[in-house]
Amino acid sequence: MKEFMYTVKDEQGIHARPAGMLAKEAKKYESKITIYKDEKSAEVTRLMALMALGIKCGQEVRVTAEGPDEEAAADGIKAFLEANL
């Protein structure tokens, strides 16, 4: 399992449009990608669950990738977050 921490920089946090883009990005990988905020978590491919976390600007989240392409998945999702959120 690969994991990393990320602080959200988007002023609106993870809202509908970037959440949809993030879910689409995550579907490119076979690995299960999960995002954690405090004690809550959601699979990144589940749009409504991802939005339900209510992640705001400045909050730190933990992201894990577990599966056959976990290294590529973690790197890809981290790059996506840095570019978009």
In terms of residue numbers, what domain contains 26?
Answer: 2-84
Residue 13 and residue 59 in contact, taking contact as beta carbons nearer than 8 Å: yes
Give the number of domains in the chain.
1
CATH number at 37 reads: 3.30.1340.10
15 has catalytic annotation: yes
Count Cβ neighbours within 10 Å for each residue of 34-53 and write b for 16 or more, e otherwise.
Answer: bbbbeeeebebbebebbbeb
**Which has the closest alpha carbon to 55: 13, 2, 6, 1?**
13
pTM, rounded to two decimals: 0.91
pLDDT band at 82 (very low <50, low <70, confident <90, very high): very high
Amino acid 45: pLDDT: 95
Quick one: which of 52, 54, 44 has its CA closest to 13? 54
pLDDT of residue 32: 97
Predicted local confidence at residue 54, as pLDDT: 93
Choosing from 4, 6, 10, 15, the catalytic residue is 15
